[in-house]
Chains A and B, each alone.
Chain A
């Protein structure tokens, strides 16, 4: 089991002294995101997000199912994440969740599923009998730091890109139309959760945004914020690490609002451009 070694002493001293001057090793300013690349696959709902070198692939699929007895009017959304050695050699075995993987899965779950971004009542077909069961699968392809932000982006883009089959209900008879009969229908999504991660370093007042793998190894604490472009705060997560002042957190929220607005513009543009290229009509 390869345990990741600590960063070598020279780089550690260099990165921290550069950060004290407000310089980051890859030339970014402290509150700058890495280059964001969005690409869509052939199927609707297949999205690859690249944040610098960090790459996450999200894929949505749907099937018919019976609803849970406690919630007969709602469909279901399941989020599957699995961190394999494909992302980096230090996420060793699949199936054995390390601390990092658990945090990652929980945050994605909170931001995407538990926040209620996807309207589950709209997934109901026949109350108590048949509902749509959505499955969102995330594949972590490369880990160069900040898998969480990339994962949340990939997830919400995948859900927004996806189209489910149209359904006609007559009495209790359900007809699921294929793509050739009726145009597939988008999911009902209330808002777009976008996550921004801040990294803090000892004795350096200015936090940085979107840390790379090297910066992640040297940081002393992290703050994950999930917001919507409408300035609503969905999730605030600070797990362990050195303590933060209240006004530091508020500062970060302010910066995050800015970034989320910019990122949302990019993803809306990318979605629009892609859907224009596709033929979603029935002749």
Chain B
């Protein structure tokens, strides 16, 4: 079991790319990993390709489906010389289907990415839609018709300052980010739309939000175990969490727990501290 590899932006990653000629299944390069093709050598046979990290963090690796269970290591990677892998590549070709590489890092600056769910604050209304502040470098646009059951005559009427839970439908570094509050295929809201009442926590680290969005989130489980009142929580990948409980007192406790989890991690949410909050 090797120790997790920490990489910095610009580091070349030691993974061998499947050659174009073999029938190898594509490997997935996730967030923070960039495939760089050197255009000068393309077409001359010797392809100058490298895989480079563009974020700082721990390198995450998930082996392909063909690899035996014992050999799979999630969250760690073995640094092997590219040469050693080349011979085994052909046999491994099929085994590498579903192989994934990504960078796990933490930070507070959100970069919009396609498909992510974010919490936005409406900052302006236009005829065609809304301008939404999603805590990134520029505002995003939300079409007035991108809601469940919205027609030209029946558009939702959201005021400036309203909170919305939306999905990023277009994210490109040269274009304005676009959001939608509906699943375009089914036409259903699926939880997106206006968030009423409650309280918004901003400026949380992106790592905490990713933790909360996992199918089984350790922090959310701990909160359910420690807090004995029902609550509602919506997490945006842009560092914002909306919380709501029946009483103001309870909402405040929940907000403080999340702030503490952000500052001190799961360990900060111990029973003694939570009970000291006086709920």
Contacts and interface: CB of A to CB of B under 8 A. Distances in A.
8 closest Cβ contacts across the A-B interface? A18-B248, A9-B161, A14-B199, A8-B121, A11-B200, A8-B161, A10-B163, A10-B198
A8 B162 CA distance: 6
A17 B199 contact: no
B121 A14 contact: no
A35 to B, nearest CB: 13
A146 B123 CA distance: 26
Most chain B beta-carbon neighbours within 10 Å: one of A8, A13, A21 = A8
Interface residues on A, range: 10 to 19
B35 interface: no
A259 to B, nearest CB: 22
B133 A5 contact: yes
Contacts of A86: none
Contacts of B277: 27
Most chain A beta-carbon neighbours within 10 Å: one of B123, B160, B200 = B200
A23 interface: yes
A283 to B, nearest CB: 45
B86 interface: no
Contacts of A8: 121, 161-163, 200
Interface string A15-44: 101100101111100000000000000000
A182 interface: no
Contacts of B159: 9
A180 interface: no
A18 B252 contact: yes
B248 A21 contact: yes
Interface in B215-250: 242, 248-249
B198 A9 contact: no
A23 B200 contact: no
Interface of B: 121, 123, 133, 159-163, 195-200, 242, 248-249, 251-253, 255-256, 277
Given A5-B123, A10-B195, A10-B198, A26 B256 contact: yes
A146 to B, nearest CB: 17
Given A13-B197, A14-B199, A25-B199, 17 more contacts: A5-B121, A5-B133, A5-B161, A8-B121, A8-B163, A9-B159, A9-B162, A9-B163, A10-B163, A10-B195, A10-B197, A10-B198, A10-B200, A14-B248, A17-B248, A23-B249, A27-B252
A15 B201 CA distance: 12
A14 B198 contact: yes
Nearest to A24: B252
Contacts of A18: 248, 251-252
Contacts of A24: 252
19 contacts: A5-B133, A6-B160, A8-B200, A9-B159, A9-B163, A10-B196, A10-B242, A11-B200, A13-B197, A14-B198, A14-B199, A14-B248, A15-B199, A17-B248, A21-B248, A21-B249, A23-B249, A25-B199, A25-B252
B252 A23 contact: yes
Contacts of A7: 161
Nearest to B196: A10
Contacts of A106: none
Contacts of A17: 248
Most chain B beta-carbon neighbours within 10 Å: one of A13, A18, A27 = A27
B248 A23 contact: yes
A105 to B, nearest CB: 27
Contacts of B248: 14, 17-18, 21, 23
